[in-house]
Structure 1
């Protein structure tokens, strides 16, 4: 009698279908298609001639994994069940319901029976209204199999993605601001004509001395849409790891993310985060040595030189006044020659005009440093003069080099490189011999085990330094012998600024490493490429001593 009653009962039914990225992998390997359309059609065909089922809703989770139940359509269906609107759920098979063994069992064996909900998995031939010990075991076994299937698929997907990363494929779901996915290949990116120019402006403004907040204000005032708003404007799907407002605006943080991302020089970094396993949704950072980094993976938006200067601007201490949108030309580059601390800028209003000066930050706070305050105008004028003199010196070096191009300049440089390399090779051999004799000294009791470890570490460090220096020499040799480019391209940094009339933030960042102010108000400037400059001067002096310059001139 009970069975007849059940057969005559009308069940308010929810059809539930789900498709995830795991199913794409299955389809690619030739398994049965689990498309949304196929699932719905199969269930509707099953219910077509069964009047006891009253279809109340069709719930669809498209693109959601079965390893958890944090799915919007499933949660809405669950709310309907708890509200008493649904008392039957029909799925194609148990894997569509869920692939996680523990929580799937919680719903099927505990929650649904308590709420009086019938579950039908068509292809698994499961109907909980006719449950018995055999069907209970079958459900448990299938849930275990589905859980194991998720684990296998997760391993395969991770492996496939890692191969794609190493091939330089772009596997993120959306392109970063400034780029767009290529029309014919979504695993490649290309500059977005509009957004790429905005990115270039951001880098240029930073180099020119604007603060991150100042850049954000300028972008907003210019009516340029923030990255997420731009995606929304283009009709692209939105996803962000950050909390989204109704309307997203430019912020200093958004500007900083762009300025620090090497993707804009063509460097593709992937695998920076990972999920511990297929059941945990939250990702964790990976060690840097596990990242997959591909250089020149795509067309750059800014030059490497521009990117380097922007990083330099970000790294130095450039605290500005609360409402200031730019920094001063020498901000963050001044150092006290007496105590080595930063020299900061201060301003005094004497009632008639503003008076700006530099003073040691330690003297300002603790009155301990001997460096007295120096007028800003005096420092900037002195820096400008010294920079002009250095530029003139580099221009003269460039002229000398151009005049000795027809003499055995290349041969001399090659010979010098080979001499340096031979010297390093002898040094490496010597330290390796010393290392080999250390063990014998320890065995004979001449040195302790602690001394053995310490000295061996010192020798290893010397060998490592020498090997790095050898690699640098090899690179120089290949440049000299190939004739493709000059190792003195750094000179353009200065020669491009010949005739410099004023001090700007961009010129300072490009040409100056730091400015040291001494207590006698003398300035010492450490220029960019100072080692290259010193080496070139030494070489030219050697050429002059050999009479090579005179012959050329």
Structure 2
């Protein structure tokens, strides 16, 4: 049989300290020496993937090699070692068994003494080498992640591109300094928002004036920037871009990183990280927005209401008052009397379209003020009482939570034992004490047991999460109300921080929906 050889070579950053020994030149030298000593092997082509990870097979030269196999150009592949072919356990096993052995493609890994034409040795060596290479990649991934997080915790900037408004210090790529041209635009965006312009309106103004959006700005600066969040045709300012800038703490000198992470060391996909797991370091670089300005903007963003001072006739109830019957906003009406102006609120539908659509739902502002003030004080008093006794948390939830923790510990121990049993059986397989059929049967049983424990763990974790969520809501309710027990007047700030909406009904009922409520009451 004629063995038409494709020599495959790969090098990536994951090779770490072994880059010298794993260099392309060294791999090529070893393959050539091997071929010189095996005259039956004829080199047809060489495939080199330099700078590609071994955790997936999305590599240009690897794809070309597989096409050449399909075309019958080569029927033998030679690599320096198995890790050059790939480090992912599942995919590398599938590749060798399904694509090589079944299709009678000979594969040789020189340093590992693997030759798929030597079936007796391959049955033991190949699985172990694949497993070892997978563990190596996982270990490297963990170390890289730990090193990057260590830098993040020091306040170093980790990223290919600086946030809009900043640039990397030419003397230190992990330090941010203001980019004055872009920083001026960021300051203007904050100022416009404080002046009452909405996020969409700000975007339209910037687009009309021809001001480059962050993506186009970076490209103009010759940065090879790609924004994964936007469509390729979106080269203009958008609502979401303005929103991200207004809510980014980087502009007050704080570094907020680790907002997403890879799903797994061997997958490309990323997932969002919960806010509580962000890595935040304060005062790492020069601020371009004052902290006081930023805090005011955050309160306005969270309120989801119109900005105070936007219109001449705006009141502290702007965006909060609704008709309880038709759902439309209540509009302010000013009536002149001998004693001065009296302010009423009436249904917007009634005011605009008349009684055929809805009734007036009229209520005087001073009456509304008294009702809202009394309701807030009652809620605050209830919160103060709950803070003192806190019955729900201390009696009803502590004992079952302790029991759940005990059950989770037992599950964790059982999972550890199963993993140990797996390792023991793997060693027995390697020593020839059991055959592969027995090992596979045992593996199936263990996998079933693991799934049962994982399901139990998921149920308990979900229960814990729900309980913790309730307790968090209870605590937020207390903390946000206890300071308002003795207030004698209300302000816009109090209303926006505590109230979602106020519904006024024609029968004079008023229902106030608070942002915070204890789930236990």
TM-score interval for Structure 1 and Structure 2 normalised by the shorter chain: 0.5 to 0.7
Please tell me whether Structure 1 or Structure 2 has the larger radius of gyration of its CA atoms. Answer: 1
Output the CA distance in 1 between the equivalents of 2:198 and 2:280: 29
Output the CA distance in 2 between the equivalents of 1:138 and 1:338: 73
Which of 220, 224, 227 does residue 211 from structure 2 map onto? 224
Q: Does the CA-based 8 Å contact 1:120-1:127 persist in structure 2?
A: yes
Q: Does the CA-based 8 Å contact 2:346-2:360 persist in structure 1?
A: no
Output the CA distance in 2 between the equivalents of 1:81 and 1:331: 74
Q: Displacement, 1:294?
A: 0.9
Is the aligned partner of 1:299 residue 2:282?
A: no
Query: Which residues of structure 1 form unaligned runs of 5+?
Result: 321-325, 348-356, 374-426, 439-447, 470-507, 519-553
Name the counterpart of 1:265: 252
Question: How do 1:316-465 residues align onto structure 2 when only pairs under 5 Å count?
Answer: 316-317=303-304, 328=311, 333-335=316-318, 359-360=346-347, 366-367=358-359, 369-371=361-363
What is the CA deviation profile of residues 54-78 of structure 1, one whole-angstrom value per residue up to 9, with x for unaligned ones? 22x534252x432333445534543
RMSD between aligned residues: 4.8
Q: Does the CA-based 8 Å contact 1:200-1:301 persist in structure 2?
A: yes
Q: Does the CA-based 8 Å contact 2:31-2:79 persist in structure 1?
A: no
Which of 159, 179, 183 does residue 170 from structure 2 map onto? 183
What is the CA deviation profile of residues 277-314 of structure 1, one whole-angstrom value per residue up to 9, with x for unaligned ones? 42343333333332221111211121112222332443
Name the counterpart of 2:8: 15
Is the aligned partner of 1:117 residue 2:105?
A: yes
Q: Displacement, 1:141?
A: 1.6
What is the CA deviation profile of residues 297-336 of structure 1, one whole-angstrom value per residue up to 9, with x for unaligned ones? 211121112222332443344579xxxxx96466695347
Name the counterpart of 2:416: none
Which of 48, 52, 75 does residue 42 from structure 2 map onto? 52
Question: Match of 2:220, SS?
Answer: helix
Q: Displacement, 1:105?
A: 0.9
What is the TM-score of this pair, normalised by structure 2?
0.59
> Cα 1:301–1:78, aligned 2, differ >3 Å: closer, same or farther?
farther
> Cα 1:252–1:196, aligned 2, differ >3 Å: closer, same or farther?
same
What is the CA deviation profile of residues 345-387 of structure 1, one whole-angstrom value per residue up to 9, with x for unaligned ones? 699xxxxxxxxx98545866853621489xxxxxxxxxxxxxx
> Cα 1:295–1:47, aligned 2, differ >3 Å: closer, same or farther?
same
Output the CA distance in 1 between the equivalents of 2:188 and 2:53: 41
Output the CA distance in 1 between the equivalents of 2:198 and 2:292: 19
> Cα 1:233–1:35, aligned 2, differ >3 Å: closer, same or farther?
farther
> Cα 1:342–1:94, aligned 2, differ >3 Å: closer, same or farther?
same
Which of 191, 203, 212 does residue 199 from structure 2 map onto? 212
> Cα 1:108–1:43, aligned 2, differ >3 Å: closer, same or farther?
same
Q: Does the CA-based 8 Å contact 2:251-2:289 persist in structure 1?
A: yes
Name the counterpart of 1:78: 66
Q: Displacement, 1:245?
A: 0.6
Q: Does the CA-based 8 Å contact 1:309-1:509 persist in structure 2?
A: no
Question: How do 1:444-523 residues align onto structure 2 when only pairs under 5 Å count?
Answer: none
Output the CA distance in 1 between the equivalents of 2:317 and 2:112: 75
> Cα 1:223–1:34, aligned 2, differ >3 Å: closer, same or farther?
farther
Question: Match of 2:174, SS?
Answer: coil
Q: Displacement, 1:254?
A: 1.4
Is the aligned partner of 1:132 residue 2:119?
A: yes
Q: Displacement, 1:42?
A: 3.8
What is the TM-score of this pair, normalised by structure 1?
0.56
> Cα 1:203–1:75, aligned 2, differ >3 Å: closer, same or farther?
farther
Output the CA distance in 2 between the equivalents of 1:330 and 1:96: 72
Q: Does the CA-based 8 Å contact 1:316-1:332 persist in structure 2?
A: no
